[in-house]
Amino acid sequence: MSAEEKVEYMTTEPIPRLVSQMAVPTIISMLVTSFYNMVDTMFVGRLNTQSTAAVGVVFSVMAMIQAMGFFFGHGSGNYISRKLGSQEFEDAKKMAATGFFSAFFVGVVFGVVGIIFLRPLSLMLGSTKTILPYTMSYLRIILAGTPFMMSSLVINNQLRFQGCASSAMYGIIIGAVLNIILDPLLIFVCDMGVAGAALATVISQIVSFSILLWISMHGGNFRISFKNFTPTWYYLYGIFQGGVPSLCRQGLGSIATICLNTAAGNFGGAYADAAIAAMGIVSRVSMFANSALIGFGQGFQPVCGTNYGAGKYGRVKEAFSFCVKVAFCVLVVISAAGFLGAETVVHIFREDVDVVRIGKLALRLQCIVFPLNAWIVMSNMMLQTIGESLKASILAAARQGLFFLPLIFLLPQFFGLLGVQMCQTVSDICTMTLSVPISLSVLKRLKS
């Protein structure tokens, strides 16, 4: 399908059908991306509590790597979708190359610096002395694969914003299947322990990167070429404008995880390692469930961006309303299942009585307010895609930054470990209160 045909399709196809076609591949891609971390936790959980906790500690670094990947991917992708709608194709090609190569170079720097300061970084992330050797072993390998992990997210998102979510999905799925195969092989057969889990993840990500790069060079996609790499202020600001909300959302999530691990260790008392392991498990389960919602929102984004660029604001509003309604209904069902099966879910990852006890309550508390994220996430996606960078950034920073970070310091002081477990719940309620007036003001402007 040519670029002109893509524009015609995105601006005329009925909204429910169009969003569904865009969303199904992105939901699968996001679930699979999240599954990388889930699989590691499941297999490492068969080793010991310290290894499980180490994976939870390193989760914050992987979240930061994803944050940078989404920063460049969403920043360039949002720009590309708007230019696709206004049929400025040469401009879109330059942005595709600039977003990709910028992410790869930043990934190299991130990985090298992280390896040089490996021990202090591991301690800063919230690792205790008993967890430290496992954390360093896992983190060292993850950092080595950073350039490929970042840039594969960029290609995936650029393809998605061009309306090629199905093609992007294949590279992610193949990598996930490979990860599932390599995890038990490297962890148990090769007796590499937690390092084997990290190596399996990096190898899988490199394979995904190679497949996605090949896909981007074929078909009607904007091909990534170094001759189009244009790191001027104009394009870098375009990435910044569209990518900052994602960086706030994912980056603050990484900082929030560090603070969560630290609080769990400080207020876990004699069960510090178990508390860190439990909250790490709950974070990954919540991220896995939330990734489906984000995937649905990412299916909405190319529809939103292309129609906004084409001046079809009524279709933008229609798509937003459709996505909020569908997401809310689905999240109610997921939340009910998670609340009732919380003990079973945590037990899958670690058969430790204390880990299950702590994780069960934390997961149930999060499930109570999880449906609120339907409005929060869709609002954030809409604001980011139409170029409302400041409002999108404020909303993106709210859930795990503006509200979560003060709460993770205050609540444990009054409620101890319970304050750690309930922190995300209170933060979600506050974020919903903030998001409603912000989003309604923009919807009102679109109507006028």
- Tell me which residue of 150, 74, 155 sits closest to 108, measured CA to CA: 150
Distance CA 67, CA 335 (A): 25
What's the average model confidence in pLDDT over 256-262?
80
Task: Report whether pLDDT(38) > 70.
Answer: no
- Tell me which residue of 417, 430, 293 sits closest to 359, measured CA to CA: 417
| Greatest C-alpha distance within the chain | 64
Distance CA 422, CA 270 (A): 20
The predicted-structure confidence for 148-164, as pLDDT tens digits, reads as follows 999 998 998 888 777 77
Percent of the chain with pLDDT over 70: 96
Phi, psi angle pair for 25, to nearest 5°: -65, -35
The predicted-structure confidence for 376-391, as pLDDT tens digits, reads as follows 999 988 988 887 878 8
CB 275 within 8 A of CB 352: no
What's the average model confidence in pLDDT over 60-65?
83
Task: Report whether pLDDT(433) > 90.
Answer: yes
CB 448 within 8 A of CB 433: no
Q: Is 312 left (phi over 0), alpha (psi -120 to 50) or beta?
A: beta
Task: Report whether pLDDT(1) > 60.
Answer: no
Confidence of residue 20 (pLDDT cuts 50, 70, 90): confident
Looking at residue 371, its pLDDT comes to 93
Confidence of residue 285 (pLDDT cuts 50, 70, 90): confident
What's the average model confidence in pLDDT over 282-310?
82
Out of 33-42, 45-54, 169-178, 375-384, the most confident range is 375-384
What's the average model confidence in pLDDT over 235-239?
89
Looking at residue 432, its pLDDT comes to 94
Looking at residue 37, its pLDDT comes to 60
Distance CA 109, CA 317 (A): 41
Looking at residue 410, its pLDDT comes to 92
Task: Report whether pLDDT(269) > 70.
Answer: no
* DSSP conformation letters of 359-388: HHHHHHHHHHHGGGHHHHHHHHHHHHHTT-
Q: When comparing pLDDT for 393 and 367, which is higher?
A: 367
Looking at residue 140, its pLDDT comes to 95
Enter the pTM of the model: 0.69
Tell me, what DSSP letter sits at residue 270?
G
Amino acid at 178: L
The predicted-structure confidence for 96-151, as pLDDT tens digits, reads as follows 899 999 999 999 999 999 999 999 999 888 787 888 999 999 999 999 999 999 99
CB 156 within 8 A of CB 176: no
| Structure tokens given for 255 | 């900082």
